[in-house]
Structure formats: C-alpha cells, structure tokens
Amino acid sequence: MAYTDFINWNLIKDAYLVDVHNQKFICLVIDDTAMHLIKKRKAMKLSKQMGFQEINLSLGQIKIDEMKFMSFILSMSNASSTEKQLLIDSFKS
C-alpha cells in the first residue's frame, strides 16, 4: 500500500491473502536479496509489525476474485517470458 514503484515478477516468492475488518489485501513476499531495492517508509514498518509484508495490494477498490488474482500473481512470478503472455491473455478472458 505504501509502495508505489514497479516490482519485477521474479522477485515475488510467495503471496497470501489477509482479511482485516472485511478489507482484503494480498501480501507479497519478496526475495530477501532484493529487499535493499525497496525504499523503506514508516508505513511499511508498521505493515510488517501488523503481520503484513513490505508490499501489500489493497483489493478494496476493485472487484476481483481475490483467490484467482493471487494465483495469477504466483503463476506470473514463476513463468517464463512466453508463458507470461499466455497467462495474461488467459486472465483477461
């Protein structure tokens, strides 16, 4: 939520869904070797203390199947370049 920069797919090692007061978030677990790339902000430290990750996607403003979206993120993080386009096309339909 506090992170607004680009994250490369291959840096995502895991993702999990969190529901706080009926607000859903997808928390992204980033490769430890890439953590130095993330500009630390106070809000990120608070997120980590609350059991989130440094990078969290708030789903409150979009209508999406959160489990399908989380599965898409995990698939994209492990896919080859050619597989990524197929996954995007499949997800859009």
- Name the stretches of the chain with pLDDT < 50: 1-2, 43
Q: Is residue 65 part of a domain?
A: yes
Q: Is residue 37 part of a domain?
A: yes
| Range of the structural domain that residue 34 is part of | 9-92
Per-residue HEC secondary structure of 17-45 comes to EEEECCEEEEEEEECHHHHHHCCCCHHHH
pTM of the entire predicted model: 0.74
Q: Is residue 50 part of a domain?
A: yes
| pLDDT at position 56 | 83
Q: Is residue 21 part of a domain?
A: yes
Q: Is residue 2 part of a domain?
A: no
| pLDDT at position 12 | 92
| pLDDT at position 1 | 45
Which two structure tokens, joined as six digits, stand for 41? Answer: 């902000």
pLDDT digits 0-9 by tens, 46-66 = 555 566 677 788 898 889 999
Domain count for the chain: 1
Q: Is residue 4 part of a domain?
A: no
Could you give the CA distance from residue 37 to residue 83 in angstroms, rounded to a whole number? 26
Angle (CA) 67-84-60 rounded to 5° is: 30
